[in-house]
Structure 1
Amino acid sequence: MKPESIIATRPNKVIYREGDVAIKLFEKGYSAADIFNEAHNHAMVEETGFPVPPLEAVRKIDGQWAIVTKFIEGKTLAQLMEEDPARADAFLERMVEVQVAMHEYASMKLRHLTDKMYERIGLSGLNQATQFELHARLGSLPKNFKLCHGDMNPTNVIITDSGEFYVTDWSHATQGNASADAARTYLLFRLAGHDEQAEKYFTMFCNKTGCSPDYVQKWLPVVAASHLVKGQPVEREFLVRWTNVVEYG
């Protein structure tokens, strides 16, 4: 791997180009089960026909697991936002359009989002009373069966020179309620400190889908609680505050 071939670096992994493929190389000791789960999710999403970089292989490189996909010529929406800040809102709107289009797809093979959230609330470390309230809240919300990304943000959407899009990083993919997926994206913006962008995203999503803002907000406590399981310690105080089901009732 040459430095000039590196596409992106993220915690516990590096993505680089090798010829006509992109290789996501995980650090040694990274859970093989999680890697194969991500590849499995990717394959199931690819079967739906939604635009994703075609999966090529899962293999070991010098003792490290890697997911190999076809390399897509283009730039992520995050790169485009950085290069042309004046058009940041337009690029954000493009991401919302991609997400809304994704929610028109379905994969009955994927794990259901409600089941995943129910389990994660139980592992969140919150007190039993709060868990009970959150489980009750989750049970009262419609399940639905739409394709959900679980980590939709500008770094995961590639735009080609011809304007086509491809979505990457499917480790959190599920089938479930589109508003839950939107609530997750909103919280991701807030966790990153992009509060203004979060509010713009929220408004765009509701406007494009006709979804009531109050309805999306109903998902915020359960989404925040489910994120506590793998969230960073520095994020915990922020996320716990969002689990208040009374405030967001």
Structure 2
Amino acid sequence: MSLPNPSTFIAEGASAAVYRLDGGRVLKLFHEGVDAGIVAREHATAQAIQATGLPVPRVFRRAEAGGRQGIIYSEIEGPNLLHHIVRHPHRIGWAMGAMAALQRAIHGHDLPALRSRKAILAEDIEMAPIGDRLRAAAIDRLDQLIEGDRLSHGDLHPANLIVSGDGLAVIDWSKAARSAPAADVVRSEMLMRFGPGQSAGMLEGMLRDATTAYYVGRYRKLAGTGKAGLAAASAAGAGRGLCRLSDRCVAPRRTAAAGRLMSLVDGGGRFVPRRCRPADAVPRSSKRRAQHRSCRYSDIETGQRAAR
């Protein structure tokens, strides 16, 4: 097939660009120089994951355009979860809860044919442009990481989740592998706290910490996992300067501020003004009761279905 029209461009990443085709399909066209073996592995992985029944794009076939390798997928219409949060900030609690539930569902599958996360990380460390001392320290930490046998996405964050009419769907499985669930959660946590697109502002850091802490808390509750298990995975899988789930990775002021922000999120995943209190805590004075009655928030759904 010929190269797609530039007007059909959707997005671009480090290894490929995505273009819209007809019939509700998209072409993930890999950049020149990407090894054909990488494309073949992603295609095979996509087929295996599709067979699990998880909410993922349907994979059609491999393709070639202008001498470049590609894969044709079905298009899932809707904004990604990050854009959804920006447009509907009051739904951030629901968004993190839904992301945690979907990640938990992903970890419920076992695909033995996938590569080991530890093996992938070992290759990455060997190829990284770092000094020998840091490389040796990273390998030592990696050796402490549990191997694990569960399906993991490896790059799960709000920009890789689509809010469709049927709920959340997961895209970009290029980093999928076998691993311990805790390692996958830690990876998501680090991406959300320290990933690209952030400024050096304290407020943004506080918001990232608060949002991520809520997501991790929801995952822990769903999985019945304590802090110790996830903290161990974080300590083993992350090098110096990366986050530990014991919440000691950020400055005390930033952690405390994040905790105050999360006190504004109620159990249903809604942001509630600080002055709002439960009914059994309404003050006796008429003035304070009137203030309580005037406190309202949107009655948004917080269940399994995503917003359309």
- TM-score norm. by structure 2 comes to 0.65
Which of 52-61 and 124-133 deviates more?
Answer: 124-133
| Runs of 5+ consecutive residues of structure 1 not aligned to the other structure | 226-239
RMSD of aligned residue pairs (Cα, Å): 2.8
> In structure 2, how many angstroms separate the alpha carbons of the residues matched to 1:125 and 1:15?
29
Which of 80-89 and 172-181 deviates more?
Answer: 80-89
Paired residues of 1:142 and 1:177 also in contact (CA < 8 A): yes
Q: Name 1:175's counterpart in structure 2.
A: 178
Q: Name 1:41's counterpart in structure 2.
A: 45
Whether 1:24 aligns to 2:38 is no
SS in 1 for 2:172: coil
> In structure 1, how many angstroms separate the alpha carbons of the residues matched to 2:53 and 2:121?
26
Using a 3 Å threshold, how does the CA distance of structure 1 residues 123 and 196 change in structure 2: closer, same or farther?
A: same
Q: Name 2:217's counterpart in structure 1.
A: 203
| Runs of 5+ consecutive residues of structure 2 not aligned to the other structure | 199-207, 250-308
SS in 2 for 1:75: coil
Q: Name 1:237's counterpart in structure 2.
A: none
Paired residues of 1:183 and 1:216 also in contact (CA < 8 A): yes
Tell me the alpha carbon deviations over residues 101-127 of structure 1, each in whole angstroms, 9 at most, x when there is no partner.
Answer: 111011011012233234434444666
SS in 1 for 2:54: coil
> In structure 1, how many angstroms separate the alpha carbons of the residues matched to 2:45 and 2:30?
17
Q: Name 2:162's counterpart in structure 1.
A: 158
Q: Which has the larger radius of gyration?
A: 2
> In structure 1, how many angstroms separate the alpha carbons of the residues matched to 2:137 and 2:55?
38
Paired residues of 1:43 and 1:55 also in contact (CA < 8 A): yes
Paired residues of 1:48 and 1:107 also in contact (CA < 8 A): no
Q: How many residues align?
A: 231
Whether 1:188 aligns to 2:188 is no
Paired residues of 1:50 and 1:105 also in contact (CA < 8 A): no
Q: Name 2:242's counterpart in structure 1.
A: 242
Using a 3 Å threshold, how does the CA distance of structure 1 residues 221 and 67 change in structure 2: closer, same or farther?
A: farther
Q: Which has the higher strand share?
A: 1
SS in 2 for 1:241: coil
Identical columns (%)? 24
> In structure 2, how many angstroms separate the alpha carbons of the residues matched to 1:198 and 1:24?
29
What is the correspondence of 1:119-134 to structure 2 with a 5 Å cutoff? 119-124=123-128, 134=138
Q: Name 2:101's counterpart in structure 1.
A: 97
Q: Which has the higher helix share?
A: 1
Q: Name 2:237's counterpart in structure 1.
A: 223
Tell me the alpha carbon deviations over residues 183-223 of structure 1, each in whole angstroms, 9 at most, x when there is no partner.
Answer: 10111112233343333322222232221223212222443
Q: Which amino acid aligns with 1:56?
A: F
